[in-house]
Amino acid sequence: MKKNALVHTLASGLLLIAATAHAEAGILSCEALKEKIATKLEGKGVNNYTLQVVSKDTETKHRVVGSCEGDKKKIIYKKEKAGAKAEE
C-alpha cells in the first residue's frame, strides 16, 4: 500500500509541475504581443497607428487591443491622422 501512495504522490507532483510550466509558458511578453498585433493590422492594410504598452490600471479613451505580462499591462491602439508618422 505504501508503494501505491508514493506513486500517487509522485504522479500528482509531476502533474502540478507540468501545469505550472504550461501556465507560465502562456504568459506573453508585451513586445511579442505588440509584434503579433502589428503584423495582423498591417496584413489588413491598416496604417497610421501606434501601439502603446501601459499599466493595466491606466485609464484611456483609446481601444485596448491586448493584455500581456500576466495581465499586468495592456496594449492600446491609437489611430493617427493621415500623414502622421506612426510610432512603435
pLDDT digits (tens, 9 = 90+) for 25-80: 567 799 999 999 999 999 999 999 999 999 999 999 999 999 999 899 999 999 98
Task: Give the 3-state secondary structure of residue 29.
Answer: coil
Task: Give the 3-state secondary structure of residue 72.
Answer: coil
Indicate the pairing of strand 49-55 with strand 63-68.
Answer: unpaired
- Pairwise pLDDT comparison (10 vs 78), residue with the higher score: 78
Q: Is the pLDDT of residue 7 over 70?
A: no
Whole-angstrom distance, CA of residue 54 vs CA of residue 60: 10
